Amino acid sequence: MTALPWRWFFIALIIFGGWKYWQRPSVSTAPDDPIQSYRDQGKVYQQGNCELEVLANFDIEARVLSKRFYDSDAEAELVPVDLALGWGAMANSSVLNKLSISQTNRFYYYRWESEPPLPPSEIASHSANMHLIPTNTDQEQQLRDISEGKVVHIVGHLVEARKPNGWRWRSSLTRDDTGAGACELILVESLQVR
């Protein structure tokens, strides 16, 4: 009986190494939950004809799951871009590859084929549609230029927006709500993309 040639040994070693690499657990690119505090609660900003009352300070690092521009609805002047963001397990490619994600009419949707890659409650609590209020044109352009899959770090305020005609738009203050009113409305102070 002859010994396997060395080259077959190395080929087998490479195949085994590749298999082990692909079997390793995914590491989240944005592992932490958003941070919310109430230091500036009640502070009011004016932007155009909107009054923006701070409900909470907000700091989030998350993966961009989807992006949608708006230019014709009533809110577009204040919020031209919505980002669907995911953090924790919802920033992992292995999870996201099993979900179909979309946005329309200021909502974010996800669906799966046979079995959800996470419990649906965890999907809901670790992702959200975020309505982003840029504070200047450079920031608006930066939001428009963000690509899906990038990780963003946003610091700002969850707000309630009001107009003199009685129109109101209030941010959610929790991460585990769903449906109408569950989105965050964020006055963006700083934005970093990586």
In sequence order, the 6+-apart residues with CB closer than 8 A to the CB of 44 are 51, 52, 53, 54
Question: Looking at residue 8, what is its pLDDT?
Answer: 62
Mean pLDDT of 111-122: 95
CATH number for the region 35-193 comes to 2.40.50
Main-chain dihedrals φ then ψ at residue 41, nearest 5 degrees:
-55, 135
Q: Are 68 and 131 in contact (CB under 8 A)?
A: no
Across the chain, where does the E strand assignment appear? 35-37, 44-47, 50-69, 81-86, 100-104, 107-111, 127-133, 151-162, 168-170, 184-193
* Side-chain half-sphere CA neighbours of 64 within 13 A: 24
Confidence tier at 72 by pLDDT (50, 70, 90) = confident
Extract the tokens encoding 151.
């990780």
Among the listed ranges 13-27, 39-53, 69-83, 141-155, which one has the minimum average pLDDT value?
A: 13-27
The larger pLDDT score, comparing residue 100 to residue 73, is at 100
Closest to 128 measured CA to CA, from 68, 93, 189, 82: 82
Question: Looking at residue 24, what is its pLDDT?
Answer: 39
